[in-house]
Amino acid sequence: MGRAYRFVTRWELPAPRERCWVELVRFVGDGTVQSWWPGVSVPVPPSRPVPGERLVLAVRSPFGYRLRARLTLTEVDPGRVLAAESTGDLRGAGRVELESLAPDRTAVVFHWDVSTEKAWMNATAAVLRPAFVWAHHVVMARGERALRARLHRG
């Protein structure tokens, strides 16, 4: 049985919601696959961002281990919500919500409710859970910095 993790990460970005959405959809895969997020890639993108489409998300942790999640998009509300069910190394659900804070400021909130499926992670979670949580925060912080830089460059 997997170990459960619940993460909520909030990025406040200096760009309009529509611009943030464009970059997130490009990252997930809209045919132009541009991986701006260090350590995170989409080696198998969806053909288009609509419910029912599938993709593979690959993550390399700061400790060097890798996770692969097979995602099925469950909700796509352009400019506002992107949600998916996950199988593979991470089983559960993820959701990204975008909210306009001002004309040129957006909150992007990531929700991950997943269980790990890698046997070694589950066997060592009693000791290593804090490290796994820290690694998640590092990967998310790197993504925020990279997206900020991308938005700044235009």
Amino acid at 11: W
Q: Which two tokens stand for residue 148?
A: 């900020």
Q: What is the mean pLDDT of residues 101-113?
A: 97
Amino acid at 4: A
Residue 116 predicted with pLDDT over 70? yes
What is the percentage of the chain residues whose pLDDT exceeds 90? Answer: 84
Which distant-in-sequence residues (6+ apart) come within 8 Å of 114 by Cβ? 4, 5, 69, 86, 90, 91, 92, 93, 94
The confidence score (pLDDT) of residue 30 equals: 52
Residue with tokens 């890698």: 118
Mean pLDDT of the residues in the chain = 93
User: What is the helix (H) or strand (E) element at residue 17, kind and residue range?
Assistant: helix 17-28
Q: What distance in Å separates the CA atoms of residue 33 and residue 46, rounded to the nearest whole number?
A: 10
| Positive or negative: CA dihedral 60, 64, 70, 72 | negative
Q: What is the mean pLDDT of residues 79-96?
A: 98
The confidence score (pLDDT) of residue 31 equals: 47
Residue 142 predicted with pLDDT over 70? yes
Q: What is the mean pLDDT of residues 46-52?
A: 92
pLDDT tens per residue, range 14-42: 999 999 999 998 888 754 455 789 999 99
Band of residue 147 on the pLDDT scale cut at 50, 70, 90: very high
